[in-house]
Structure 1
Amino acid sequence: MLKPNILSSMFSQKIKPFLYLGVFYLSLSLIVRLVFIFHPITTASFGVFEILKILLIGAVNDALVFVLTCPFLALYFLFLSNSKYQKPYGQIILGVLVLLFLYILLIPNNIFKQYGGSIAEIALAFIGLKIVLFGLMLFLPEKRLKIRNILYFITIFLYVLLIVFNAVSEYFFYNEFGLRYNFIAVDYLIYTNEVIGNIMESYPVIPLFLGIFAIAVSISIFIYKKTETELLDLPNLKQKLILLASFIVLFAISLFGLSFTTNIKSPNVFEGEIQANGLPKFYWAFTHNELDYFQFYPEIDQKEAEKNFLSQFPEPFLKRNIVAEQPELKKNVVLISIESLSADFMEHYGNTQKITPFLDSLADHSLMFTDLYATGNRTVRGLEALTLCIPPTAGESVIKRENNKNKFTTGSIFKSKGYDVKFLYGGYSYFDNMQDFFAGNGYGIVDRNNFKPEEITFANVWGVADEDMAKKAIQTMNTEAKSGKPFFNHWMTVSNHRPFTYPNGKIDIPGDAKSREGGVKYTDYSLRRFFEMARKQDWYKNTVFVIIADHCASSAGDTELPMDKYRIPAFIFSEGFIQPQKFTKTMSQIDVMPTLFGLLNFNYQSKFLGQDIFKKEFQPKAYIATYQDLGFIKDNYLTVISPPKKVKQYALTQQKGNLKPEFNIYFDEKSLKKQDQNKKIVDETISAYQSTSYWLKTNMLNR
């Protein structure tokens, strides 16, 4: 039996690496948390006691998370042994490793290859390295301690490197989105080529990585020197079992504790995000890409929900007959989705930097929607809204789901009218599953794969410059016009996206300045060039142009869904056809295409859930959402439903500003207690999202 003083000594010695790593992790996490509190993107202000509360809860979260990240280091220590190198154990273990290596290398359908991807190659490399190291330690016993020390240092270094790298990653993610890791971070792991390329082009990567590496090496050397004696006296089997049992208990306590600390309610989004730890949020996002509405959100009777939602239409049915009073107009249609164009980038909405001179001038000659809101904060949400014309639903966009084909789309309406239908994108359309979605719904696709080398004057990781895409679009439309068929082309721009690089000499902001204002202004310049080329074409006079943002540049705010971070510009332009005017009522992205079909006098059977804003039954409203929070704006209320079956409602108070009344729409959001909520609008919110989720689930929104 182990004596108490021996047991105490053993624990104090064997947990030293964990203590040093833990203190480093908690210290670095504290620094990151303080940076977030005082970061310019954090628009909430905190008092001293609020800051102390955030730091305390954050420290508890960090400590619990650190315990959960220690299994690999614990297993490393548990498998340290000298006895395994004694005869005959050492030879047997080495033989098993060699046989396993040959099995992976030579057997075609081995278990590793059945998993697909690079699993077999990774396993082969790992086993091969293990054979070399085990062989050296088996046949060179005098070098065993030195080799073990080197491996121990590498293990410590990898832990420290990951801790530092995670802290830097969380900073840049927060700097971009005002959030800890979420679904977007999961996407970034999937689309590694674009994401790594974006990082390489957006930030000073070499100095950054050299700094990370230098910090990791310095900290690793310090921890190694303080703990290298751990390898001189390895624990026996009994000691290892005690250490293992202790670790299992701590692991269980940490899991249990996180289930409470991660659900502590916060008065605003920033407080909740800052006190959280990014790794549990990443894990949750990774395992919840799609949320079952009926499991996580408030419900009412399904028939009642559908009745409530469909009451906004003259025919209260999902499938409705749209009959125009005038003859149909077979005009060409060009829908331009502009990447990350917040309303407040335009002079019309108060911007004084003059970074959208062309769009501002075009808006003056267009039907302009002054109070229009994006349905989400990602490109796929904007494409979903403009293509399917449905409210957003919980989890991933329909575009990224498996069941995303044969839907009722704007493209299917145009195809039924004899149009040539295409999706144009300057990048590779496999990104965000766009190719699968648009091809699966009858669109032809023109993307970077269709460019000849000489057609590309500039490109970054997201795609060719918007000016190059504009030239390709004109070329595509000229070819379509020669066929004698009308065309519908949906063009998604790319240049107004970090790293905000573009050709030099085009605008007065250098292309390598990597400024958001430059990205906006270059896109504006490219659209001017597009229209200059279009005006010279025979098809121009018979074409309607729809210009709209896919989403805002940022979605961070004090509340779950800050309205000002969803307001986007949108207008419809057509010389001699669309009369300039401003539509000032609240509307959604999903209303734009039904309105266009109304202007073209199209007769069709509709399953769109947006409305033609010029019909007498139109109800001013908008849908805005994140992956979890589903919002509904109507009658000066913002209602938000979210997991687990929560309902929040805010009273919206209009604030005065210096713009013309139609553009001066900024709101304060005052949270209402349950007894003060507008029950009718709460039911409307639930009805809209519950009905949409049900119809998607049952394929009722298919063609």
Structure 2
Amino acid sequence: MKKLFTGRFALYFAFLAYFITLSFIVRTTLFISACQHTDFTLFEIVKIFSLGLFFDVGSALIITIPYALFLLILPDKLYHKKWNKIFTSIFFFFFIVITLFSFFAELTFWQEFESRFNFIAVDYLIYTYEVIHNINESYPIPLLLAAILFLASAITYILYRLKVFNQTFDESTRKSTNVRSFSLIIFAVLFITFVKNSWAEHGNNHYTNELSKAGTYSFFAAFKNNELNYQDFYSQIDDKKAFELVRKQLKETNASFINAGLSIKRIVSGEGESYKPNVITITIESLSADFLAHYGNTQHLTPFLDSIANHSVFFSNMYATGTRTVRGMEALTLCIPPTPGSSIVRRMDNEHLFSVGHVFKEKGYTNTFFYGGDGYFDNMNHFFGNNEYNIVDRGRKLLNETYGGTRTLIHNKDVTFENAWGICDEDIFNVVVKDADEKYKHHQLFNNFIMTTSNHRPYTFPANKINLPQGTREAAVRYTDYAIKNFIENIKSKPWFKNTVIVIVADHCASSAGKNEIDISKYQIPCMILNLKNTANTNIHKMTSQIDVFPTLWGFLGWNYTNDFFGKNVLDSNYKSRVVLGTYQKLAYMQNDSLVILSPQRKIESYIYNKAKNEQRKANFPKLFTDKAIANYQTAYELFKNGGLKE
């Protein structure tokens, strides 16, 4: 062992020892945190720390490949030069700082998502402007950086006192390190090539799977696999059979399919008197159902939403399709199940799709996407701008940006408060009101899609609005409820309000992690439709999905329209309760209490879901039922990839 810390590789192996030790400390910290939420068996604990060590060693070897190559190729006469000693010392200190910061980031990422680094972390690396500002407003950055620099200096000093730096530059020759260098580099390359992050994902305990991973390797795995090919990784059935099953599921009393075969396009005939109101959709950031008193909350966080729930068309058993804002946008605009990988909002070739905006445009509406932040984030502007929507956002004007619709920037004069993610909810609502006034003046029907931002970390908003201190999720929820109340009260006096329908729906829940890989309770969201003409207050108890919101609304409006969506009018007599939801890799289909989860490696798991206890008990279902689950995702993926969702 002593020989490891002598010669050229002394500092290299010292870094490996430091990295693996810190990784162990981080894993232990996260393990202790997870113990508050679940119990671990002895086997699970062994898996967490043994498989975790394997991933830690592999990660350490991968990130040190450049230094191993450097040690291999640098001649002795240059290696012992003073400039190299200075360069190596600075490089080592820099790597210590970076890795310490990444370990801290893992702790904060787990606090937010209860997961190792995944696609979200990749997003955060890409969208640095929002993230840096968010971190700056959420944590004491000067103290954090000072602590990291202090620890990095202490670690470097300890190794200096142990004479590791001196031993690194002893008189050993490059030839004596060749075999060692090649071995380490080859092992690292083999690790990258053959070791899959999914090796840690066997078993039903989400925490065990995530703790068995290494944050660094999980990050690179997520970056590499940003989109999953359904055909390569998931169970499939014959295409013809898949479409037959989905078409049978989508059958409605007042709809008829246009084409035979691999298509779901159909004509819907409205029932009753048809009318065309303005539509304003308020998509609320991270509003879990359990924030509302209707679902048992006793903190009085949403008094206004609670008061109007029973005076609306209230979807009291609705589920989001995913865990990210763009997933909610995908569901509400495309009415499609979540396909593996990133949301369609963020993918290539997502222009000119058959969208909710397309249906509204065919009816003579002007569609507008309102966002209080920079719509460049998560590719939102590109998606909405090329799918029949104009854009109003608080962003930067980018060169060479082109959209099918117009883009209007929110001016400083319209902003009273903003943080890293955008202007406060009151401000974006005021912008919407001004826009609606202008459209009404010009006799334009409007369909507005609003994305709020205040219920997002760092949970800050204008002062003196509510009686809770800023900086907590609960306070942000309370403020958002306050802002919505002011908005509704304000527009009641507008001449266009009488002919305006308000849809209030969450994009996703505040958190999605739980003991189960897909925790169904963490997908339940509130949704309500206000101000529908000649419609009695209705509580829709049926289990419904985000993808059903607009097909159901159009049913209330009595519209005739072309429908190329997976969503249904849930009040149709043929509707059978079902939801589609998932993570980036896990895809779930649930009908009543029967749950099927599809995973890579063509894995299929079946459960009976006990909602009262939030438990999933393994079960065996007829092949027809699992085929139905497969059919929903297989057809959705193929329609998008093959251009079947184009207008």
User: TM-score surpassing 0.5?
Assistant: yes
After TM superposition, list the pairs within 5 Å mapping 1:450-465 onto structure 2.
Answer: 450-465=409-424
Counterparts in 2 of 1:518 and 1:638: CA distance versus 1, 3 Å? same
Does 1:487 find its partner at 2:409? no
Amino acid at match of 2:94: L
Of the candidates 493, 517, 530, which is equivalent to residue 573 of structure 1?
Answer: 530
- Of 621, 625, 629, the residue aligned with 1:685 is 629
Corresponding letter in the other structure for 1:671: K
2:598 aligned counterpart, secondary structure: strand
Which residue number corresponds to residue 276 of structure 2?
330
Give how far 1:78 is off.
Answer: 3.4
1-structure distance, mates of 2:536, 2:7: 80
The answer as to whether partners of 2:286 and 2:455 remain within 8 angstroms in 1 is yes
What is the CA-CA distance between 1:204 and the residue it aligns to?
A: 1.6
**Aligned positions of 1:27-106 closer than 5 A:** 27-39=21-33, 43-48=37-42, 50-81=44-75, 83-84=77-78
What is the Cα-based RMSD across aligned positions, in Å?
2.2
d(CA) in 2 for partners of 1:375, 1:260:
24
Offset of 1:576 from its aligned partner? 5.1
The alpha-carbon deviation at position 577 of structure 1 amounts to: 3.7
Change (3 A) 1:237 1:212: closer
Which string of whole-angstrom CA distances, capped at 9 and with x for unpartnered residues, describes residues 252-289 of structure 1?
Answer: 56457845993562341110100111222211211111
SS of match in other structure, 1:14: coil
Q: Does 1:474 align with 2:468?
A: no
Which position in structure 2 is the counterpart of 1:290? Answer: 227
Q: Percent identity?
A: 38
- What displacement does 1:83 show? 3.1
Say if 2:326 and 2:378, in contact at 8 Å, map to a contact too. Answer: yes
| Equivalent residue for 1:422, pick from 362, 368, 372 | 368
Separation in structure 2 between the aligned mates of residue 265 and residue 637 of structure 1, nearest angstrom: 21
What amino acid is aligned across from residue 459 of structure 1 in structure 2?
E
The answer for the alignment partner of 1:111 in structure 2 is: none
Query: CA, structure 1 residues 41+375, in 2 after alignment: closer, same or farther (shift >3 Å)?
Result: farther
2:624 counterpart SS class: helix
The one-letter code matched in structure 2 to 1:180 is R
Q: Determine the structure 1 residue equivalent to 2:403.
A: none
Write out aligned runs for 1:404-553 (5 A): 404-449=350-395, 450-510=409-469, 513-553=470-510
The two structures have a TM-score, normalised by structure 1, of: 0.85
- For 1:400 and 1:668, the matched residues in 2 are separated by 33
Can you list the C-alpha shifts for 1:19-70, whole angstroms capped at 9, x where unaligned?
Answer: 3222221221111111111215862211455324321221222122212222
In structure 2, what is the equivalent of residue 93 of structure 1?
none
SS at match of 1:641: strand
- 2:76·2:173 contact (CA, 8 Å) conserved in 1? no
Displacement of 1:609 in angstroms is 1.1
- State TM-score, norm by structure 2: 0.92
- Cα displacement (A) at 1:223: 1.8
- Contact kept? 1:385, 1:391, Cα under 8 Å: yes
| 1:26 corresponds to | 20
Of 89, 94, 99, which residue of structure 2 is paired with 1:163?
99
Separation in 2 of the partners of 1:197 and 1:261? Answer: 32
Is the 1:470–1:529 contact (alpha carbons within 8 Å) kept by the matching residues of 2? no
State the distance in 1 between where 2:367 and 2:90 align.
56
Aligned to 1:116: none
Amino acid corresponding to residue 302 of structure 1 in structure 2: D
Counterpart in the other structure of 2:575:
618
Match of 2:618 in 1: 671
Tell me which amino acid in the other structure corresponds to 1:542: N
TM-aligned CA distance change 1:148 to 1:14, over 3 Å: closer
What is the deviation of 1:72? 2.2
- Cα distance in 1 between the residues matched to 2:327 and 2:35: 23
CA deviation after TM superposition for structure 1 residue 156, in Å: 1.6
- Between the aligned partners of 1:188 and 1:247, the Cα distance in structure 2 is 31
Deviation at 1:392, TM superposition (A): 1.1
- After TM superposition, list the pairs within 5 Å mapping 1:291-310 onto structure 2: 291-310=228-247
Q: Pick the structure with greater CA Rg.
A: 1
The corresponding residue for 1:197 is 133
- CA distance 1:617–1:259, shift in 2 (3 Å): closer
Alignment match, 1:221: 157
How many angstroms apart in 1 are the aligned matches of 2:361 and 2:632?
A: 28
8 Å CA contact 2:607, 2:616 repeated in 1: yes
In the alignment, the residues of structure 2 paired with residue 381 and residue 261 of structure 1 have an alpha-carbon distance, to the nearest angstrom, of 22
Query: Shift in Å at residue 679 of structure 1?
Result: 2.3
Q: Partner of 2:7: helix, strand, or coil?
A: helix
Cα contact 2:8–2:170 (8 A) shared by 1? no
CA shift for structure 1 position 491: 0.6
Q: Is the 8 A contact 2:75 2:174 kept in 1?
A: no
Query: 1:262 is paired with a residue of what secondary structure?
Result: helix
Question: Whole-Å Cα distance in 1 between the matches of residues 308 and 422 of structure 2?
Answer: 26
Cα pair distance change 1:610/1:267, threshold 3 Å: closer
Quick one: structure 1 residues 392 and 288, their matched pair in 2 at CA, closer, same or farther if it must change by over 3 Å?
same
Q: Hey, what's the Cα distance between the residues in 2 that align with 1:241 and 1:702?
A: 57
**For residue 649 of structure 1, what is the aligned residue in structure 2?**
606
Measured after TM superposition, the shift of residue 635 of structure 1 is: 2.8
Secondary structure of 1:605's counterpart equals strand
Match of 1:562 among 510, 519, 543: 519
* Residue in 2 that maps onto 1:402: 348
Aligned to 2:331: 385
Is 1:372–1:568's contact at 8 Å kept on the other side of the alignment?
Answer: yes
What is the Cα deviation at residue 532 of structure 1? 1.4
What stretches of structure 1 of length at least 5 have no aligned partner?
Answer: 1-6, 86-136, 138-143, 656-665
Q: Secondary structure at the match of 1:639?
A: strand
* DSSP-derived class of the 1:13 partner: coil
CA distance in 1, matches of 2:196, 2:479: 47
Q: 1:41 to 1:533 in 2, by over 3 A?
A: farther
Residue 527 of structure 2 aligns to a residue whose secondary structure is strand
Choose from 326, 333, 343 the match for 2:289: 343
Match of residue 541, structure 2, among 584, 590, 596: 584
Distance 1:261 1:548, change over 3 A: closer
| 1:592-631 aligned within 5 A | 592-631=549-588
Is the 2:10–2:165 contact (alpha carbons within 8 Å) kept by the matching residues of 1? no
The residue number in structure 2 matching 1:179 is 115
State the alpha-carbon separation in 1 of the partners of residues 139 and 467 from structure 2.
22
String of CA shifts for 1:489-535, please: whole Å, max 9, x gaps.
1111111001101111011113xx31000111111111111111101
Task: Show the 5 A alignment for 1:257-276.
Answer: 258-259=195-196, 262-263=199-200, 265-276=202-213
Query: Can you list the C-alpha shifts for 1:319-341, whole angstroms capped at 9, x where unaligned?
Result: 11111132320111111100000
Comparing 237-246 and 624-633, the one that deviates more: 237-246
Distance 1:50 1:378 in 2: 29
Q: Secondary structure at the match of 1:311?
A: helix
Within 5 A, what are the aligned runs for 1:116-155?
A: 144-145=81-82, 147-155=83-91
> Which is worse superposed, 263-272 or 420-429?
263-272
Could you say if the C-alpha distance between residues 259 and 27 of structure 1 is closer, same or farther in structure 2, counting changes exceeding 3 Å?
same
Secondary structure at the counterpart of residue 616 of structure 2:
strand
Whether the 8 Å CA contact 1:36–1:42 is kept in 2: the answer is: no
Report the number of matched residues: 624
In structure 2, how many angstroms separate the alpha carbons of the residues matched to 1:41 and 1:487? 50
* CA distance 1:422–1:74, change in 2 (3 Å): same
Cα gap change, 1:542 to 1:9, in 2 (>3 Å):
closer
Determine whether 1:697 maps to 2:634.
Answer: no
